[in-house]
Structure 1
């Protein structure tokens, strides 16, 4: 009698369907189904480490390098941990590998989660949250983030406080000098994207991070606006709506937060126009069917 062994596709298909149903219900699902294969099953085969050329990224932005030095633990891994920037999944980092992302300046939230058959968490719950940190990045700067669950860097980053999340644990920010040592990033291979382990790294995510920053600032200003209105009510500078005309009423003085919101919206509109001009320039200003 033959025994039928379930294929990888048959195992992951119901998990992917479950993830889709949860996402449709409004839940935030953290998952890397079909992307989490580890080095034991699929070793990294990219080229040896090399910095990307200076002309390949805009120095008004920042560059993040992620790397994972070789260890037997990581080499025997069935599933590799996921890396998220600003709550968006970009790649799963396997043994002896590196990759990079170009991001806009500002505060970037970095998280790592360990999957179980690709599933990682739901809303605020995570099966295994490896790292949860915020890194403030500056224009033109390059940052090196080292992941190793067995050994921490021999030297802490001098610009980080001892209690900073990126100065302790498995994921740490290290200096360029430290990363350039033997057995560090220089000994790793590029985390290429392929059919068995696709990823969305080694690219610019500047537009995405700019949009996230806009949404964050707008949300913050809207919350501050509510607080400002409460202060004006207490100070007697707010008129309530009449019972017969519910659309009236409001503050009797201009709101500072309204001014800041209008400024933010103008800046974002200018940014969108700049993107459109750049897209037109890159496309040659149009297309020609002949």
Structure 2
């Protein structure tokens, strides 16, 4: 009798474990990128290279004109656990502040906000391979040969890319195998956090991740993730609590 009860209990336990496992598998979501994929195996022809170089596209004004402030840096939690977060930033300098037209950034062929002086924003990406190209336009006309950087991101990870034309701050510390193409360089997390801390969010964060639903359809989130409106009073930090003057203590 006892052996029969034990066998039944063991069977129920195994069934419950299998059911729990099945529920977990069903609850897991799969994410994909909403950006146009890049065929890295495709051989670049003379025509394709020139089309990438000479084009008409939008542009962003530099800090000489655009002096709108924003919230100081803070880490973000991705809207999807399986997504990666890529932070792009450009520290402040006199050179950067005198820029009239900022360099244009294109991620997988899609134009994303330019980085101006003392500026950062983030991009939420699905795991995969990406291509970032940068060129300096003459308003809407692009003539300059673009700077191209290819990179990969892993789910749940965070990455920091710094754009630094002067490079007087130096590059990444140590001998880590990090991305570096011209003024664009990947920074180690600790070093990046020391530099990015005083930069400001002058453009919304971006989300290029979609969730695959059980029926096969894609659920897309809002592409632009707007932060609360900047207020100068938010930057005030009192080191000691404010106290009302008491004349009896004089």
Specify if TM > 0.5.
yes
Aligned CA distance change for structure 1 residues 167 and 49 (closer, same or farther; 3 Å): same
In structure 1, what is the equivalent of residue 150 of structure 2?
134
Residue 36 of structure 1 contacts residue 115 of structure 1 at CA under 8 Å; is this kept in 2? no
Residue 83 of structure 1 contacts residue 110 of structure 1 at CA under 8 Å; is this kept in 2? yes
Q: Deviations over 1:191-224 (max 9, x none)?
A: 23xxxxxxxx5121124xx9xxxxxxxxxxxxxx
The offset of 1:153, in angstroms, is 3.3
Residue 149 of structure 2 contacts residue 181 of structure 2 at CA under 8 Å; is this kept in 1? no
In structure 2, what is the equivalent of residue 185 of structure 1?
196
Residue 148 of structure 2 contacts residue 181 of structure 2 at CA under 8 Å; is this kept in 1? no
Q: Deviations over 1:208-250 (max 9, x none)?
A: xx9xxxxxxxxxxxxxxxxxxxxxxxxxxxxxxxxxxxxxxxx
Q: How many residues align?
A: 169
Are 1:275 and 2:218 an aligned pair?
A: yes
The offset of 1:118, in angstroms, is 2.5
In structure 2, what is the equivalent of residue 57 of structure 1?
79
The offset of 1:159, in angstroms, is 4.0
Q: Which has the higher helix share?
A: 1
In structure 2, what is the equivalent of residue 170 of structure 1?
183
Structure 1 segment 71-110 matched on structure 2, within 5 A: 71-110=93-132
Structure 1 segment 133-282 matched on structure 2, within 5 A: 133-151=149-167, 153-156=170-173, 158-160=175-177, 166-181=179-194, 184-192=195-203, 202-207=205-210, 273-275=216-218
Counterpart Cα distance in 2 of 1:86 and 1:271: 27
Aligned CA distance change for structure 1 residues 171 and 76 (closer, same or farther; 3 Å): same
Residue 172 of structure 2 contacts residue 188 of structure 2 at CA under 8 Å; is this kept in 1? no
The offset of 1:128, in angstroms, is 4.3
Report SS of the residue matched to 1:180.
helix
The offset of 1:274, in angstroms, is 4.4
The offset of 1:108, in angstroms, is 0.8
The offset of 1:111, in angstroms, is 1.1
Q: Deviations over 1:179-202 (max 9, x none)?
A: 111xx111101123xxxxxxxx51
Give the alignment's TM-score, normalised by structure 1.
0.52
The offset of 1:154, in angstroms, is 3.5
The offset of 1:47, in angstroms, is 0.8
Structure 1: gaps of 5 or more residues: 1-26, 121-125, 193-200, 211-267, 280-290
Give the alignment's TM-score, normalised by structure 2.
0.60
In structure 2, what is the equivalent of residue 119 of structure 1?
141
Counterpart Cα distance in 2 of 1:116 and 1:157: 37
Counterpart Cα distance in 2 of 1:169 and 1:272: 44
Counterpart Cα distance in 2 of 1:72 and 1:38: 12
Counterpart Cα distance in 2 of 1:37 and 1:272: 44
Higher RCO, 1 vs 2 (CA within 8 Å, ≥6 residues apart): 2
The offset of 1:30, in angstroms, is 4.1
The offset of 1:275, in angstroms, is 2.1
